[in-house]
Amino acid sequence: MRFNNKKKKTIFPTLIFLLMISWIVSAEDEIIDLKFGQSPVSNSDASRTLQSLVKVQGTGGLCQDGLYLLTHYGEREDIFQKENQELIDNPAINQTWRYCSIFSTTTENSVIMGRNWDNQNVGSIIISLYQPPRGYASISFSRAIDLGFGLNLYLERIRSLQIGSRLLLAPFYAMDGINEHGLAIAISGVKQTTHKPKSNKELVCITFLVRKILDQTKNIKEAVNLVEKFIPFALDKNSLNAHLLIVDSSGKSVILEYTQDQWRKTYGDKSWQVLTNKPIYKVSDAMLRDKCWRYRSISETLENTKGNVDWKDGMKILHDVKQKGPTWSVIYSPRTKELYFSVYQKWNIIYHLKAL
């Protein structure tokens, strides 16, 4: 998977900083190019990964150390499996609840997926470039707090310490992302459900399942087939408080919910699909609009525009349904493999990541 901008080619993604006022990008705005860090080839994969950590200047504040870019080298499956078992053995019952708004929409020339990650004071945000030797390259968002890092903890200062090695787990804790085939996925919180183990299915943390989907699938059909091999969990090994929206480059989308010990699939029956924090499976659109104002707001906008929105319109949709404090708000473009996003509620600053 190669990343570039129009001026020059490079195997590392270029992050472009754009200033927006009232959702209009001015031609006079300054563009600042940022790159994922590149480490010496001679070092070990773990060392190279940790040395690649780059903080985006100008980000951070109270309880927000900032936005970081991290390039991962080598295979991580062994430590991912170890972390998964640790979460089974030691339940994260006190994990912060997730409130999110997610949508996808498709037109003849465009596919986009938008998401708000509505958590306050979660510390640093890590954007990972992960290229597993036996899988697809992807870019994903993670919260440093899930790696065990507290608030106001400068990641650049701790990467050389023993605890710094937990940065290698950032792809394991993917909350949303997109892979080289344009398959995008996002997690949203939902009312907790319980389930029973099955001998023929592997038990995996929901974020590890997101990682597997990004690493191993190109489209909705493959993603749906893959999840049937797993039982997801979150708070402990017998419970789950999350569901997923997936969209591929063709514009097909599906919402996946694991309830009553089986996967429930809700495919879009319109050119757009919306997911917030209410169960979706076999619930009418009218009831969902009545129960969640964010679902109603997004649905009405997409209905009125017939789903014909670009990334700027998408960011406006996310802004209109923001909660107390979105940590990040991102628009994914599966066909062009671009990301537009803001962090820490600074809606006037938009970052752009181009992946080809």
The C-alpha atoms of residue 259 and residue 98 are separated, in whole angstroms, by: 18
Name the residue with higher pLDDT: 7 or 256.
256
Dist. CA 228–CA 195, nearest whole Å: 14
Instruction: Tell me if 25 is assigned to some domain.
Output: no
Q: Is a pLDDT exceeding 50 seen at residue 152? A: yes
pLDDT computed for residue 10 by the predictor = 37
- Helix or strand or coil: residue 6? coil
pLDDT at 348: 87
Task: Give the containing element (helix H, strand E) for 131.
Answer: none
Instruction: Provide, rounded to the nearest whole percent, the portion of the chain with pLDDT above 70.
Output: 85
Q: What are the CA-CA distances from residue 202 to residues 97, 208, 212 (Å)?
A: 24, 11, 12
On whether residue 65 sits in a domain, the answer given is yes
Q: Is 32 among the domain residues?
A: no
Taking CA atoms, 152 is separated from 99, 140, 326, in Å, by 22, 22, 17
pLDDT at 287 over 50: yes
Is residue 1 assigned to a domain?
no
Phi, psi for 214 (deg, rounded to 5): -65, -40
Q: How confident is the model at residue 106 (pLDDT cuts 50, 70, 90)?
A: very high
Percent of the chain beyond pLDDT 90?
Answer: 64
The reported pLDDT for the residue numbered 118 is 84
Please check the confidence at residue 165 and state whether its pLDDT lies above 60. yes
| pLDDT greater at residue 29 or residue 239 | 239
What is the structure's pLDDT at 153?
Answer: 77
Report pLDDT for 119.
Answer: 73
Where do runs of H (alpha helix) occur along the chain? 45-51, 77-89, 155-158, 206-216, 220-227, 285-291, 293-304, 311-320
Spatial separation of the C-alpha atoms in residues 165 and 335, rounded to whole Å: 34
Cα(64)–Cα(87) distance, rounded to whole angstroms? 25
Query: Is the residue at 29 inside a domain?
Result: no
Bridge partners for 15 per DSSP: 34, 353
- Cβ–Cβ < 8 Å for 106, 272: yes
- pLDDT higher than threshold 50 for residue 322: yes
Rounded CA separation 230/8 (Å): 42
Task: Give how far the C-alpha of residue 239 lies from the chain's centroid of Cα atoms, to the nearest Å.
Answer: 21
CB-CB neighbours of 22 under 10 Å: 6
pLDDT for 8: 36
Does pLDDT of 15 surpass 70?
A: no
Q: Give the pLDDT of residue 65.
A: 73
pLDDT tens-digit map of 213-247: 999 999 999 999 999 999 999 989 999 999 999 99
pLDDT on residue 326:
79
Torsion region of 97: left, alpha or beta (phi above 0 gives left; psi -120 to 50 gives alpha) = beta
Residue 6 lies in a domain: no
Say whether pLDDT at 20 is over 50: no
The answer to whether 151 touches 145, Cβ cutoff 8 Å, is yes
Query: Is there a domain that residue 11 lies in?
Result: no
The range of the structural domain enclosing residue 239 comes to 38-343
The pLDDT assigned to 136 comes to: 97
- Tell me, what CATH number does 75's domain have? 3.60.60.10
Cα torsion for 22, 23, 29, 34, to the nearest 10°? 130
| Higher local confidence (pLDDT), 180 or 12 | 180
Q: Check if the beta carbon of residue 63 is closer than 8 Å to that of residue 123.
A: yes
- Is 351 domain-assigned? no
The residue ranking higher by pLDDT, 26 or 128, is: 128
**pLDDT at residue 319 tops 90:** yes
Q: Bridge partners of 339?
A: 332, 353
Q: What is the mean pLDDT of residues 27-54?
A: 72
Q: How much is the pLDDT for 140? A: 97
As for how many domains the chain has, the answer is 1
210: phi then psi, degrees, rounded to nearest 5: -60, -45
Mean confidence (pLDDT) of the chain = 85
